[in-house]
Amino acid sequence: MVSWWQALTRAAGRYPWPANVLLYAGFFSGGDALQQVLRGGPADWQHTRHVATVAVAFHANLNYVWLSLLERALPGRAPRTILAKVLCDQALGGPVYVSTFYAGMSILEGKDDIFLDMRQKFWNTYKSGLMYWPFVQLTNFSLIPIHWRTAYTGLCGFLWATFLCFSQQEGDGTFKSAFTFRRIKGTNEVEKPSEK
């Protein structure tokens, strides 16, 4: 009997694009579900479907193509090559991912001004990403096999999506707003039982 891991590995080897896209979208959608749990509200499956749609329709596919192009343009794992890939990814890929997330979510939610969230939160979110993604991609380009790179990005994107979905709904694109929200929420939860 073939284990699920062997089946997944075989599928990724035979069909790397769809396997990576589906894994990426699953992790990204899971990040949205996690931020909903952390916020303590009821599950909003429509929002999670919107996140999955943006992930499948754009982010995961772009990521797969982008990482393949980077590998063709800058092949190998020499330290200078890895640093060049990380710089290219952050300078070119990062802004595209942040912009398309905010615009894509606004389109799917039917907002009148689809660029409002992007205008208000882009720079904060991009700067927050610069504290996370260079380290993720450094590991990705140096240790992860090429056919698993998009899936690995999606795995790391689970945490990023948790933050990004919070920022899209309530935050301002900074880590500080997410941590402040958690601290205030935790304080309120402690105080509520004593008020009764």
- How many structural domains are present in the chain? 1
Q: 135 lies in a domain?
A: yes
The helix-helix angle for 94-108 and 45-54 (nearest 10°) equals 140
CA dist., res. 180 & res. 128, Å (int): 15
188 within a domain of the structure (yes/no): no
In angstroms, the CA 140 to CA 159 distance is: 16
Residue 190 belongs to a domain: no
Instruction: Please report, in tens digits, the pLDDT of each residue of the chain (196 residues total).
Output: 467 767 767 777 788 888 888 888 999 999 999 988 888 878 899 999 999 999 999 999 999 899 999 999 999 999 999 999 999 999 999 999 999 999 999 999 999 999 999 999 999 999 999 999 999 999 999 999 888 888 889 889 899 998 988 888 887 888 777 666 555 555 554 444 444 4
Q: Is residue 177 part of a domain?
A: no
Owning domain of residue 133: 2-168
Burial of 4 (0-12, 13-18, 19+ CB in 10 A): exposed
Q: In this structure, is residue 195 part of a structural domain? A: no
The answer to whether residue 150 sits within a structural domain is yes
Contact between residue 128 and residue 174 where contact means Cβ atoms under 8 Å apart: yes
Residue 185 lies in a domain: no
pTM: 0.82
CA-CA-CA-CA torsion for 66, 143, 157, 107, nearest 10 degrees? 0
189 in any annotated domain: no
